[in-house]
Amino acid sequence: MPDFNVIADVSRTLQRFLTQGFSTLVPAPPPVAEIHDLQGNISTDPARLTLFLFEVIEDPSQRNRPPVRTDLPAPATPSVRISKPPMALLLKYMMTAWSGDRFTDHQILGRTLQVLYDGAILSGPQLLGATLQNTSVALKITLTPITLEERSRVFYAVQKPYRLSLTYDVRVVDLDTRTSQGRVPVVSREIRPSIAEAQP
């Protein structure tokens, strides 16, 4: 069930997937991917790609989904549970290379583009965490550039000098509701026609 841990599980999944994608790069040791808030000093030994989750919003393309109906086993009363649909989240990540060498930074960004282009949909054993493993969830990863001004604002907010970065959207991340209502299903209904009396 996608509970409140789902955001952390998505981040762990991305971190491992990218680190595995860097494993064949030379020289050794290869770069690593790391979830990071861009605060403090960022180590370049080994070289790394920081994954900064800078925004979480409700996915506008998934709004107004119908309620979820769950039939409860007999003899439960009420026998039907109606829940709000999961909240569909859109996670926005900024990915930045840190190696101490500009050419290596560019190499890391190039491999990131390659890995996420080839693996634009993550599912099944690629997923980590109790909210994602053994589910039918498929994470869709899309390169979504933002303007230079928007990117500069992010670095200004974390008090870091501007660096070349990539921005990606990850969807659809479902967050289940905690509320539901029990209802008794309608098994029969009687409709009586109403016949208007004739006017004299």
Q: Which domains does the chain have, with CATH numbers?
A: 6-178 (3.30.2000)
Neighbours of 191 (CB within 10 A): 5
- pLDDT, average across residues 69-92: 73
* Per-residue model confidence as pLDDT tens digits over 107-121: 999 999 999 999 999
Neighbours of 100 (CB within 10 A): 10
> pLDDT class for 147, splitting at 50, 70, 90?
very high
- pLDDT higher at 1 or 121: 121
The pTM of this model reads: 0.79
Is a pLDDT exceeding 70 seen at residue 183? Answer: no
| DSSP H/E element including 56 | strand 48-58
Per-residue pLDDT, 60: 81
**Per-residue confidence (pLDDT) for residue 66, from 0 to 100:** 60
Token pair 């009363």 in the structure block, residue: 77
Give the residue-averaged pLDDT of 139-144.
Answer: 97
Q: Return the residue matching tokens 């309608």.
A: 186
| Residue 110 amino acid letter | G
Task: Answer whether residue 11 shows pLDDT above 60.
Answer: yes
Check whether 83 has a pLDDT greater than 80. Answer: no
pLDDT of 152 higher than 60: yes
19-74 tens-digit pLDDT? 999 998 877 799 999 999 999 999 999 999 999 999 999 888 766 666 666 676 76
